[in-house]
Copies of this chain bind each other. A is one copy, B any other.
Amino acid sequence: MSDKLLVVSTDCHAGLPIADYKPYVESKYHEMLDMAVPITVDMLEKSESMFLIKEINDAWRAPIQQELTGAWDYDERVRMLATDGIACEVIFPDGITEKNTPPFGAGLGLSPRDMVPELQWAGAMAHNRWLAELCANDPARHLGVASIPLLWDVGQAVEAVRWCVDNGLRAVMIPTLWGEHDAYHHVKYDPFWEVCQDLGVIVHFHSGPAPHPEYFGKGFPVEDQRSELPGAMGIYVSEVMWWLYRPLTFMIWGGVFERFPRLKVMIVEGGTMFMLPSWLRLMDFQYHEGEISAKLGDFKSHLSMSPSEYYQRNVGIGASCVRRADLDERDTIGADQIMWGSDFPHPEGTWPNTQAYYRETFSGLPEDAGRKILGDNAVAFYGLDRERLQQVADEIGPDKSIFN
């Protein structure tokens, strides 16, 4: 075993400056795109001013302007991976937080709220086309996560998954919130789970989405009503993880993993993982005991396994910028399921201080556990090319001395 660690970041981001998506957008939407770009840029800036304190963000960015272009520039990106010691990355949309989102609301949130289905699809496929090109530079090292606005039309989503596979992408992201649409226990989504299972496409949910207007006011993102709504951000950071796990609650009880036992789901950037063990424990309690279950009728005979067993078999945890305290609880979260991520180029990520982060966070952790979390779990979950990636790691990977 090499002294150089094979590191996979399961949470990186990439995206073009929004106007640069134009060549990837079908021409019939170009006129609409020209109108949408300035409006979107303005709204993104207003929205992000609520999530990013400008002074802090500006100070953080000042010394790394060139490196930040790795959000879309391939050569710069490869240098970033080398600096961070990352052999392989999983790539979500939305690079520099408020600048690099796909057009027509097809970015990280994939919210159905106030969206035009046809346009959101157009924006998503534009990003997917560009992403496929980016990853084609070195498919073993770059796993692009395609944006799939699943809620509008399951048939179209199935076709999009086939397009992804044909174009080298085998990871997809779907909305974390379904708004007024059917939730993920509805059997109408079965064709989507089926095609993902059959083609080995991993379904991703990425943290961030939550019912923001409830926290920040009905005018969100344009109007800032914080003086009337004190503590909104505290509520958001206390709830966002629950919204991230929520699709799994519906999929597990809905029997999705019973009908599609080889379907894999990845939950990414869940922050501190305090609530994960108790969420699993609660679902298992309801499955195994729940004295009220007789009164409520049969809601589990369609499940041959307990909720936590589906979780262990079918789910991966993208533990971006994971804290040491969470790693110390790895056995209750799932020591074989936790996969590290750098969150490049978001300011809450470890980049550009990833090397220091490795030493601070992993010092004293058993090497076996650390290797799993930093890379081996992801190699197994995503079915990566270990031999090729170890060659890369031997050149750029961090040394196992981080565990000293």
Contacts and interface: CB of A to CB of B under 8 A. Distances in A.
Interface residues of A, number: 60
A347 B187 CA distance: 32
Contacts of A252: 231
A334 interface: no
Contacts of A295: 51-53, 56-57, 347-348
A97 to B, nearest CB: 10
A235 B234 CA distance: 26
Given A51-B296, A275-B282, A278-B278, A234 B214 contact: no
Contact of A275 (B56, B279, B297): B279
Copies in the complex: 2
Contact of A255 (B230, B242, B293): B230
Interface in A41-73: 50-53, 56-57
Contact of A282 (B233, B253, B255, B274): B274
Interface stretch (A136-144, A284-292, A360-368): A284-292
Nearest to A188: B228
Nearest to A239: B249
Nearest to A52: B295
Given A249-B239, A297-B53, A231 B254 contact: yes
Given A232-B299, A237-B286, A237-B292, 14 more contacts: A52-B296, A185-B232, A185-B235, A187-B230, A231-B252, A231-B302, A231-B303, A233-B296, A233-B297, A233-B299, A234-B287, A237-B299, A272-B285, A274-B281
